[in-house]
Structures are given as C-alpha cells and as structure tokens.
Amino acid sequence: MNKNIFLILSVLFMFFVGFQFAEPAAAVKVVDHGTKYIDSANHVKVVWKTYQYNNNFLKVYANHYYKNPNTKKYELNFNSVTTLKKITKTTLKYEETRKQFVNPVDLHYVKTKLTAAQYYWRIYKKYW
C-alpha cells in the first residue's frame, strides 16, 4: 500500500511539473511567414517568420538572399532578427539585429499607442 501511494504521488508530481514546462512553450505562436522578392529583377529574396509571444512582444526572423549571377541560384547574404516590444504605454522598442554586419544592431524607440502586434500589422508589415 505504501509503495502504491508513493508511485501515484510521484506520477502526479511528474505530470504537474511537465504541465508547467509545456505551458510557456505553447504561448509562442507563428503569426506570419512568407517569401518576398525585393527588386523587379528578383535579385533579392527575403524569407521571414514572425513569432508572437503576447500582444506586446513579437520577433521576426528573416533570411536575406541574393541571386548569384554566375549560378543563378539564391545564396544566403545575411540573417536578421527584429524585435518589437512595447515598453511603456506610448513607447515601442524596435530593434533589428543583423549578423555579418559591422554595426549589427539598429535600435529605435517609436512613439505610438499601438501594441506591438498592432504596430506589426499596421505599420511594419506595409514596408515589406
């Protein structure tokens, strides 16, 4: 009887611990993804995926490719991560980090009452 109670309690404990770890991972969701060709000759291609953690925090992971004129294939030029984070009621932090650059971080503070999600869909996304 004592062994059965110990076994049941340990299984319940593992279940609850596992549930606690699974919940935060489920909160992140992909809200947008795609591919866009930048110039009319299709020499530059951007492939992105946007993750939303909550209404006030989004991350955009993008790979930027260029078309090699010799091979006619797209080759990776650089990666970028853009973070949109609402830090006060009227301020949004816009940070873009580009790997393979001398100045890899581009940081701006935007005055807006929009949430990060609203800013992404209404402002940021229009420039893609």
Give the C-alpha separation, 120 to 117, whole Å: 5
Q: Which two tokens stand for residue 86?
A: 């609402």
The pLDDT, as a whole number, for residue 21 is 56
pLDDT in single tens digits along all 128 residues of the chain: 566 676 666 665 565 555 555 545 557 999 999 999 988 778 899 999 999 999 999 999 999 999 998 998 999 999 999 999 999 999 999 999 998 777 789 999 999 999 999 999 999 998 76
Handedness of CA 79, 75, 66, 100 (dihedral sign): positive
pLDDT of residue 10: 65
Q: What was the pLDDT predicted at 39?
A: 80
Report pTM: 0.74
pLDDT value of position 104? 85
Which pLDDT value is given to residue 16? 59
pLDDT value of residue 41: 78
Q: What whole-number distance in Å separates Cα of residue 116 and Cα of residue 118?
A: 6
Q: What does the pLDDT read at residue 84?
A: 97
- What is the C-alpha to C-alpha distance for residues 43 and 26, in angstroms, rounded to an integer? 37
Report H helices in 28-126. 116-122
Which residues are paired to 44 by β-bridges? 66
**How many residues appear in the chain?**
128
